[in-house]
Amino acid sequence: MPHPDEKYEKDRLSFTKAYMDQLIASQQSGQEALKKRQEDALAKLDFKDSSLRYQEMLSHANFMKMSKDQLETLIKLRNKPYFARIDFHRREKPEREMFYIGKTSLFDRETQYPIILDWRSPLANVYYEGRLGEVSYEAHGETYEGDVSLKRQYQIEEGELIDFRDIDITTKDDLLQESLSQNAENRLTEIVATIQEEQNQVIRADLRKPIIVQGAAGSGKTTIALHRISYFLYTMREIFKPEELLILAPNRLFIQYISEVLPELGVQRSKQTTFAGFVKEVTGIDWPVVSQHDVLMKVMEGENSDASIELWTAGYKGSREFKDLLNRYIQEVKKSYRIREDFRLAGFKIKSAKAVNRLFHKEYDYFPYEVRVQKIKAVLQSELLRKKKQILAKVAEKYDQELDKALYGLKDPAKRKIRVSFLITKKEEKLKEIKKESRSAVSRYMKQFPKVKLMEIYKQLYTEDVFNSLIDGKCEELEQLRQKTEQHLKNKKLFSEDLAALLYIQTFLTGIEKEYQAKKIVIDEAQDYTFLEIYSLRRAFQTDLFTIVGDLAQGIYRYRGLQNWQVLSDGVFRKVNYHTLQKTYRTTVEIMSLANELLSSMSEDLPKAEPVVRHGNLPTFIPKDRWKKTFLKQLEELKADGMKSFAIVTKTKKEAALVEEELQGIPTEFVQLDEQEEMNDYLILPAYLAKGLEFDVVYLFCHSYHYVQQEIDIKLLYVAMTRPLHQLFMVGNQAEDFLLDRINSDLYTTLES
């Protein structure tokens, strides 16, 4: 039986589309064409009750001025103008009102009637939060109360209303279920229609405070972080521009992956880069960097004879202790800026050394050194200008007195003449000399301030004398760290952990240039950052507006990364808002149960994910010899089932290359992916690169490199296992390759021949 509101909803959608068309046409064509269009639109519409009101509103559309961006958004949204509706009776209003919620708002010009309400608006919060019944929301510092009597979701495709349904306390979110059962494009999508309550709380949490989100694999951290930016830009649109936002992602692949969702959310103009990319740009140091991925892979591939010291070094260089050491060093560097000479002109003191030092070390303390030097230069210049006249007058007066003495004291006219002319010449010369001296006095004086280069300063740190003077007692590991880094720097190479130190020192020396300044920073996969990386960013930007999301269970760089979130709330930020996201939306109950069981086999107590109820096949172990025979056929079957994106995920980079060889002779589209390459639907990649991404079907592959029972392997395996949306296969020589021997055998199946 058709829904009683079906006609009404169809009319409402037709009207909204007609209104949008009218608006689009009014921006694009002349008035004549417009009038014609409007008549056509009206003729086509078959409204009854609300026709008058609708017609009136349609005529207003002609007069609305829009920006190019607004127009583009409108055109994009024309075929899906809204996704939900709420009926809300605000306490002080005479009757209930209907609000249609979409990706951007649209108001009738004359009446201000909201034809579409932006999902980020305060009132739309009512849709995401709370249930039916009594609710309240805040806007412009006021709290409004009222009653929600209806929440309705729409499925609109190509501008046609396909279906709609009401949500109440008992019905589960069908729209969410439906959206989760869809396929993974190789891009992230927006989820405004199905944002869940716990996610909404993160998106709308106090925008002025830093926020840390611990979220399980697939809980929507990346998605939510991007939606929070969108919400931030909407709410703070008067104050912040998208260009002032910085998104830090783990690699270029990931940036590609999120790029699709950015325009949808109106966030495309924010800066997106990696931590290493950012520091290289800011410091202008473009030396090759041994990344944490290189180190991890070398360790995993067993190619590192002194792995333990390398990992220890990376850990130390990311630590609080290293930050303290850098602080002591920076204090030493600062001492070189202590000057001894007074600033004088023609012997007259203009500013004492003590006063200049006070400016540098006290009053301008909060500026970077070079900025302080520039400020002192400006002060000296203006004082010189002010005092120069007095000095010239004093010197002239001294000569004039001498002249008087000569004129009236010397009796002998010849002698007097010689003396007077001598004094006049001398006076002129002296005044000229002072004027000349004054022109270069400041710059000459400023030479006392050392001209420092960031890399020189950094290299200096690792010289034996300097380094040893900064540490308490000798320590074997520290000495190795010093020597290795010194050598590395000599060869013009960096370890990725050097970058945070360079950024940190740079903020003291020159600060961050304006073009690189950001006012809000979003960090994804934050568990892989070192303490010092986040600390140096906080110091560089001087802001608390950080959104930090990550998952400790996926901390595959734990030797350097964060062990817990508390180090950030204790040591970097004040008053952090901490949230957790437990529910996971990506994968099925079956896949998540296996991944969770794997995590439980570790002694560390890590947060587990709770899958939103969506069932699928059991993860399947496929013996390698059988796999080759069945792979192509299976692939065809999966494709026929609607699976679109596939990945073969290996433990190491080398193994990824081996898979490519392994697949030779089997005609597939799979390609091995490097960090710099374009994403596609058939990828072979190591687990560290797959982190953060998702695919419909994932094959874990072990041939030469299998997972063993140790923390780093378990985490890598966990990352790999949590990538698929629908199906997980494990291809190896034996089930033990994936630690399945430690796992309840009900949680997976084995492909029999």
Q: Can you give the binding site for ligand ATP, defined by CB under 6 A?
A: 176, 179-180, 189, 191, 194-196, 199, 215, 217-223, 551, 554, 585-586, 692, 694, 722
Q: Closer to ligand ATP by CB, 102 or 218: give it.
A: 218
At its nearest, how many Å lie between ligand ATP and the CB of residue 299? 23
- Side chain identity at residue 520, one-letter code: K
At its nearest, how many Å lie between ligand ATP and the CB of residue 443? 54
Q: Closer to ligand ATP by CB, 253 or 658: give it.
A: 253
Q: Is 221 labelled a binding residue?
A: yes
From the list 223, 222, 245, the residue with the least C-alpha distance to 233 is 245
Q: Closer to ligand ATP by CB, 84 or 176: give it.
A: 176
Q: Closer to ligand ATP by CB, 581 or 743: give it.
A: 581
Q: Closer to ligand ATP by CB, 249 or 503: give it.
A: 249
Q: Is 84 labelled a binding residue?
A: no
Beta strands in 2-141 (DSSP E): 84-90, 97-102, 106-107, 114-118, 133-139
Q: Closer to ligand ATP by CB, 195 or 537: give it.
A: 195
At its nearest, how many Å lie between ligand ATP and the CB of residue 600? 18
At its nearest, how many Å lie between ligand ATP and the CB of residue 180? 6
From the list 681, 665, 683, the residue with the least C-alpha distance to 628 is 665
- Side chain identity at residue 73, one-letter code: T
Q: Closer to ligand ATP by CB, 196 or 530: give it.
A: 196
| Residue 242 C-beta-side C-alpha neighbours within 13 Å | 15
Q: Closer to ligand ATP by CB, 102 or 114: give it.
A: 102
Take residue 398 and report the two structure tokens written for it: 């001294």
At its nearest, how many Å lie between ligand ATP and the CB of residue 337? 45
The kind and range of the H/E element at 407 are helix 369-409
Lateral strand order in the sheet of 682-686: 671-672, 682-686, 646-650, 695-701, 724-732, 620-623, 749-750
Q: How far apart are the first and last CA of the chain?
A: 50
* Exposed e or buried b per residue across 188-220, where buried means at least 16 C-beta atoms within 10 angstroms of its C-beta: bebbbbbbbebbbbbbbbebeebbbbbbbbbbb
At its nearest, how many Å lie between ligand ATP and the CB of residue 647? 13
At its nearest, how many Å lie between ligand ATP and the CB of residue 246? 18
At its nearest, how many Å lie between ligand ATP and the CB of residue 611? 11
- Side chain identity at residue 642, one-letter code: G
Report H helices in 193-288: 197-203, 221-235, 252-259, 261-264, 275-283
Q: Is 336 labelled a binding residue?
A: no
Task: Specify whether the CB–CB gap between 466 and 246 falls below 8 A.
Answer: no
Take residue 643 and report the two structure tokens written for it: 């699976």
Cα gap 442→423, rounded to integer Å: 29
Question: Residue 118: which residues within 8 A CB-CB, separation 6 or more?
Answer: 101, 102, 103, 104, 105, 124, 234
Cα separation values, 286 from 457, 513, 516, Å? 16, 17, 16
What would the DSSP string read from start to end of 443-464?
HHHHTTS----HHHHHHHHTSH
Q: Closer to ligand ATP by CB, 146 or 550: give it.
A: 550
At its nearest, how many Å lie between ligand ATP and the CB of residue 568? 18
Q: Is 215 labelled a binding residue?
A: yes
Q: Which residues line the annotated binding site for ATP? A: 215-222
Q: Which residues line the annotated binding site? A: 215-222
